[in-house]
Structure 1
């Protein structure tokens, strides 16, 4: 089967996020499918841009064929990013006949987060006689409306709403990373029987094989805390507004007399303010460390007694969430304290930890104390439940099979 994935932001281990198209393509290649990924040359998610040689540049990464479409650079979420989106989708539409005849896809997957790519994707699919899958990462334009405050009468929202509705009507299947989004999609034109939930995942072989040692600074702090008999609650990820790590600082103040420490690993726009607040409060039970290489994540998480993840209160989460960070936590086999209010709850469903209300320092304090009161064997059992849940439901090998099944049902 020839599979064409259209994902504006698709990345790879060479270029950085986003990784889902790459890992699905790897699994499908093992099953003798041919996979082509079409992506924009510029994405704010990547840490490195591909080298271009014209309007379309071909590159093979780990046996996967990438076609990079030249697009302008941008910063932030302003007009330049919108121009980048339209440059990608208009170029793709212009190239629809070329891609249909040269790639000859059996299935076309439109997967660019925003829904405009459905137009060129359907045009390519019709010319090639291929099945059409619309893959939903986030609900657009609902996301910019509810998170960004855009009016439903804004021209950008009107254009995106038309594209979303068009996608639900014309796709043969709609694959969603949001488990509770089917009702919204049906309200916007999707017929029954099209919805398939396929969440974010993890490459199990890569997790187990590509382990690198912790940087010295990280290893020294964790070793010292364990030597002192401290209970370590870890966090690994972005330090941004959405992560509401101020809740952790407030909880650390309330736990200042307890034999425990928070260890926060990562970077982000809020990190300096968090460190300044910690210093002003005179807290000695919270430690800030820089990001570690991807290969060192398993060793980092293994060094924690419990792991924390939190997100701002957000009505949009009623449709479900699928954070990659949570999948990593669960794969590490360490119990989780989750401060997220969403339509789904993997922590409670798997039994791998404690779920509390977001932005509630008192609730976090209670959860930490509850975790400290458990025996090491009880915490190990919780962590094992999380790991087993990931192996069954979130391994890319499993997700690729579910995706294949959805394609075969078209």
Structure 2
């Protein structure tokens, strides 16, 4: 089977689509990728690439077709230009680069912007193959939740575009079951199936390497891994760290980058907090080893309707790590942590509840914390094991191909 993966983000940018492509390739699927020039998250094009070039190279064992784009930057205008330039380039230059290459199916990896599905729909018509859209964020809800777009007229316009996209693809994969009603309201007759994010269990693969990370040399390091942005409501961590500043041995280690990192660092310095550490970004490949050094793993989200429906992809990684999870969020993500018995869930944006949860875990016997982590790993293996989910995706490809062939 020949599959085209369309994703604005791809290696060397650190997204889970990299692991999925690698796994599909290992299972004998002939995968090619249509992507942009790597520049996430800082808006600086990675060494060896140029923003305004078309290039075909090989990454992770597969052929990658890269089209020009405007690098992302600070502010809504720069981000909008980044999104729109990729869509236009994928339509024009992507069509040219792929002109003689047949495919059986197209998969769109769709974190924001979901608009990147537009060139995939066009290519699916040209190649006469089904298009599968893997919905990671709900639009237009995520735009309003993050503050990028708030005007009601603009949000209605985005909703119309999303409706058109949903109804033009052949299969919608949703990363959270809670997404289904919202997607169904716009999708018309397009089939929808639950297909969660996964995480490669590096310990099972025997690839975990030693790692050095500032802040972990204490009795109870709490690791937050990933984007440090508005969606994560990271001010709750600042307030909890302030409440816990006199608790010896407890540190919050904020691994990653994002729009709120500089602000959070400045606020931490203003308050003289020594229990809030910012070691920076680490490669995705290093995260399993880093998480192994944590006493607990922290996930936070803002208190909005959209985020109550979302399962942050880091939850699967945290479950696989086998460490207790502190979930400061509402809805689907908290339900998984509680159902798995993998940690403690507290209301989103509630700093006092977060601080109390930290103290509860800190005082808990190590054997009980160990059992929490073990339950999380068992839940991961049952529900999110990477190899099983890749097989499921291949099954979705095959079914979509058969369905389209049956309609001809």
Query: Same fold per TM (> 0.5)?
Result: yes
**Aligned-partner Cα distance in 2 for 1:189–1:307:** 36
1:157-193 Cα offsets, whole Å, 9 max, x none, are: 455333311222122110122331111112113326x
**Aligned-partner Cα distance in 2 for 1:42–1:304:** 30
1:150 maps to: 150
CA contact (8 A) 2:238 2:268 kept: no
Moved more, 358-367 or 40-49: 40-49
1:222-252 Cα offsets, whole Å, 9 max, x none, are: 2xx34xxxx4444344444444444344434
Cα RMSD of the aligned pairs, angstroms, is: 2.9
Cα 1:403–1:357 change in 2 (3 A) is same
5+ residue gaps, structure 1, are: none
1:214 is paired with a residue of what secondary structure? Answer: coil
2:193 maps to: 196
CA contact (8 A) 2:231 2:302 kept: yes
1:180 is paired with a residue of what secondary structure? Answer: helix
1:303-350 Cα offsets, whole Å, 9 max, x none, are: 3332322222222113222232x3332222111111011334221121
CA contact (8 A) 2:318 2:325 kept: yes
**How do 1:209-358 and structure 2 match up within 5 A?**
209-215=206-212, 217-218=214-215, 222=217, 225-226=218-219, 231-255=220-244, 258-266=247-255, 268-279=261-272, 286-291=275-280, 293-294=282-283, 295-324=285-314, 326-344=315-333, 345-358=335-348
1:371 is paired with a residue of what secondary structure? Answer: helix
2:298 is paired with a residue of what secondary structure? Answer: strand
TM-score, normalised on structure 2? 0.84
Aligned pair count reads: 390
CA contact (8 A) 2:24 2:390 kept: yes
TM-score, normalised on structure 1? 0.84
**1:274 positional shift:** 3.5
Match of 1:87 among 76, 81, 85: 85
**1:65 positional shift:** 1.0
**Aligned-partner Cα distance in 1 for 2:17–2:381:** 19
5+ residue gaps, structure 2, are: 401-408
**Aligned-partner Cα distance in 2 for 1:73–1:123:** 24
1:341 is paired with a residue of what secondary structure? Answer: coil
**1:133 positional shift:** 0.8
